[in-house]
Amino acid sequence: MNKTNIELFFATLKATNPTPTTELKFTSVFELLAAVLLSAQATDVGVNKATDRLFPRANTPQAIIDMGLAALEDAIKTIGLYRSKAKHLMKTCEILVRDHGGQVPNTREALEALPGVGRKTANVVLNVAFGEPTMAVDTHIFRLGNRTGLAPGKTPLAVELKLLKRIPASYMVDAHHWLILHGRYVCVARNPKCDTCAVSAYCDYTRGKATQ
């Protein structure tokens, strides 16, 4: 995808959705961190179902510590890998209380030092909570980056770094949301909905099919 088409690609996504946001439910930075930590190998719908049970009972690091591991596991047992996720979340809460005054840190280094928080999770928190122009590459964005020609790469990190270089600065803060939503609902894994795609005219995949 060339520079002109990249600009048109994101201008179109912005026109169709001027204020994109995550589909995870949260009302604080900690709730966001907890939801993203729980989202590994789970859908946002599934995570929201679990946090709808958890957050009314405990939505701060200290409150989760106070509820105990067994109660935490019970609250989130509807999602996959809930036992390991509960342990990670509990340890994360302990570190937040012990080292950060119960607050979520706003640096990549401190975030990635938390149990269960990898680069993708840190990128989501830095972008959504703190407005930083980061790019969290999940399966949807990885597929879209390669399929469209926007940012081909063999690994999520390669795609992330290429996206950071190629996306115009004016779109970077919201780009993660546009791409994940587009990959989730339009540029799907099987049978992408090219016929109804608003950005198909700028996509290498669609343009390649047209020349075949």
Contact in structure between 64 and 58 (CB atoms under 8 Å): yes
SS3 content of the chain, % helix, strand, coil (to 5): 65, 0, 35
Angstrom distances, CA of residue 207 to CA of 21, 90, 149: 29, 48, 11
Contact in structure between 45 and 124 (CB atoms under 8 Å): no
Residues recorded for the chain: 212
Between CA 132 and CA 125 the distance in angstroms is 9
Q: Which two tokens stand for residue 52?
A: 């709808």
Between CA 162 and CA 132 the distance in angstroms is 17
Residue 138 annotated among the catalytic residues of the structure:
yes
Q: Which two tokens stand for residue 30?
A: 């900690």
Active-site residue among 52, 138, 154, 204?
A: 138
User: Which residue, 169, 167, 196, is CA-closest to 179?
Assistant: 167
Buried b (16+ CB within 10 A) or exposed e, 13-42: bbeeeeebebebebeebbbbbbbbbbbbeb
Residue 44 annotated among the catalytic residues of the structure:
no
What is the radius of gyration, based on Cα positions, of the chain?
18
Active-site residue among 66, 120, 154, 209?
A: 120
Return the active site residues.
Answer: 120, 138
